[in-house]
Amino acid sequence: MEHGGKPRPMKGIRQLAEHLDISIGTVSRALNGKPDVNEETRKRVLAAAEQLGYVANQSGRSLRQGTTNVIGLMIQSSRETVENSDNFFLTVTGGLQSVFSRHKLDLIMLPCPHDEDPYEYLKRMVARRIVDALIISETQRVDKRFDLLAKAKIPFAALGRSLSGTQHPWADLDFDGVANAAVDRLVAHGHRRIAISAPASEINLGFVFVEGYRRALERHGIPYDPALVLRAKSSEQGGYQVGDELLRLENQPTAVILIYELMAIGLYRRLMEAGIVPGRDIAVVSFREAPRAKFLQPALTCFRTSVHDLGVELAEILLSSMPAYSQEYPRTSRQTVWPLELIPGESDAFQLKAAK
- Residues in the site for its own copies, rule: CB under 8 A? 7, 53-60, 62-63, 68, 70, 72, 75, 77, 81-83, 85-87, 89-91, 93-94, 97-98, 101, 107-111, 113-116, 123-124, 127-130, 151, 235-237, 240, 262, 265-266, 268-269, 291-292, 294-295, 297
Q: Which residues contact 248 (CB under 8 A, 6 or more apart)?
A: none
What is d(CA 163, CA 37) in angstroms, rounded to the nearest whole number? 51
Say which entry of its own copies, DNA, none residue 333 contacts (CB below 5 to 8 A, set by partner kind).
Answer: none
CB of 107 to DNA, least distance (A): 20
What is d(CA 301, CA 91) in angstroms, rounded to the nearest whole number? 22
Give me the helices (H) in 201-341, please. 204-219, 236-248, 263-273, 307-320
164 binds DNA (CB under 7 A): no
Judged by beta carbon, residue 120 or residue 341, the one nearer its own copies is 120
CB of 52 to DNA, least distance (A): 11
Strand partners, 196: 229, 257
Q: What is the DSSP string of 82-128?
A: HHH-TTHHHHHHHHHHHHHGGGTPEEEEEEEPTTS-HHHHHHHHHHT
> How many other CB atoms sit within 10 Å of the CB of residue 211?
16
59 binds DNA (CB under 7 A): yes
Judged by beta carbon, residue 61 or residue 103, the one nearer DNA is 61
Looking at residue 140, the DSSP 8-state letter turns out to be B
CB of 120 to DNA, least distance (A): 18
Among 39, 79, 115, 142, the residue binding DNA under the rule CB under 7 A is: 39
Q: Of 183, 174, 253, which is closest to residue 217 (Cα–Cα)?
A: 183
CB of 219 to DNA, least distance (A): 55
53 binds DNA (CB under 7 A): no
| Contact indicator for 174, 233 with CB cutoff of 8 Å | no
On the CB side of 58, CA atoms within 13 Å amount to 10
CB of 149 to its own copies, least distance (A): 14
Among 2, 4, 9, 66, the residue binding DNA under the rule CB under 7 A is: 66
11 binds DNA (CB under 7 A): yes
291 binds DNA (CB under 7 A): no
What are the residues binding DNA (CB under 7 A)?
Answer: 11-14, 22-26, 28-29, 31-32, 34, 36-39, 41, 54, 56-57, 59-61, 63-66
